Amino acid sequence: MQLEVRGVTKRFGDKEVLHGINFTVQSGRAMGFLGRNGAGKSTTIRCLMDVFHQDEGGFYIDGQPLDITKYRVGYLPEERGMYQKHTVLEQLVYFAQLRGATRAQALATANYWVDYFELGEYKKKKLETLSKGNQQKIQIAQSFLNEPDILILDEPFSGLDPVNAQVFKDTIARFVSEGKLVIFSSHQMNYVEEICDDVTLIHQGNILLTGDLEQIKRELGQNKLQLRIEGMDDEALADALRAAFPDIITLPHEDGLILDTQSRVTQQQVLDHVNRQGWTIHHYGLYTPSLNDIFIAKVGEQA
């Protein structure tokens, strides 16, 4: 199954917040949807969920226009909220029934996910009596009801402690391995990097990059080295290298200076220069950007 977002534009009054965005999501591959606050992530997701209606463009599944009501969709909205004064199990059963399950199926799936998150003792308690963390788990549980074909999670990790985040990551991995279509937005790059096969970066309503995460890393790391010299600060090193190799571009980085050789300087030339200068290498290697580096670099380019 392939979900295609094709030329989606959304305006609120005179303000255009999505400018004809395009990207695709494959089932069996988790897709991380990244962007700063107000970049357009939640608006895109709400258009996809048919909460908002896009002004132009559309969503397609395997080439056909998407009718979201025809699929079993698990959705975790950015604005968390369920019935505070209703009991945990009865409202999960209610949501499962509204999404097409029979009463018996709804009871089975609700019980399964409450037990899965080790919240069985709270089934008959009102939601408001649970701790914030446990309420968050119930919110997540509701998105997993009825074994969804498509899972759309808006900032799923916010409010989760490390233990629950791990449980959640394992669950997403399970859905991905079962060939489900999974999209989730997040600010937390480490989680996205761990789970996602693909990423899409949105900034001010435009897609900055989209595709396979490893390939993006390789492409963005091409012709880049990372170097740190004992007893020398990165700024002095950058000045020295630029004097020796005028074509080189240097970029500061917390793990050591990044050298973009532009394919005009070889690794050997750099190492020979280090040896000639009698510098002692503290760290040297090919540079592979982290998702965080990619995010900062790409968004920074647009600033």
String marking each residue 154-193 x if it binds other proteins according to CB under 8 A:
----------------------------------------
- List, in sequence order, the alpha helices (H) in the chain: 41-48, 88-98, 103-116, 132-144, 162-177, 189-195, 213-221, 234-244, 267-277, 291-302
In terms of CB distance, is 37 or 69 closer to other proteins?
69
Judged by beta carbon, residue 65 or residue 278, the one nearer other proteins is 65
Tokens of 180: 């489900």
Burial 178-211 (b: 16+ CB within 10 A, else e): eebbbbbbbebbebbbbbbebbbbbbbbebbbbe
Q: Distance from first CA to last CA of the chain, Å, rounded? A: 36
Q: How far is the CB of 83 from other proteins (least distance, A)?
A: 6
CB of 183 to other proteins, least distance (A): 14
- The secondary structure of residue 110, as a DSSP letter, is H
* Nearest distance, CB of residue 218 and other proteins, angstroms: 35
Shortest CA distance to 289 belongs to which of 256, 246, 242, 240? Answer: 256
Q: Contacts with other proteins in 38-97 (CB under 8 A)? A: 46, 49-60, 64-66, 68-69, 73, 75, 77, 79-84, 86, 90, 94-95, 97
State the minimum distance, in angstroms, from the CB of residue 48 to other proteins.
10
Indicate the residue among 69 and 280 with the shorter CB distance to other proteins: 69
Amino acid at the residue 32: G
Q: Assess 14 for contact with other proteins (CB under 8 A).
A: no
Task: Kindly state the helix (H) or strand (E) to which residue 135 belongs, with its residue range.
Answer: helix 132-144
Interface residue list for other proteins (CB under 8 A): 46, 49-60, 64-66, 68-69, 73, 75, 77, 79-84, 86, 90, 94-95, 97-99, 142
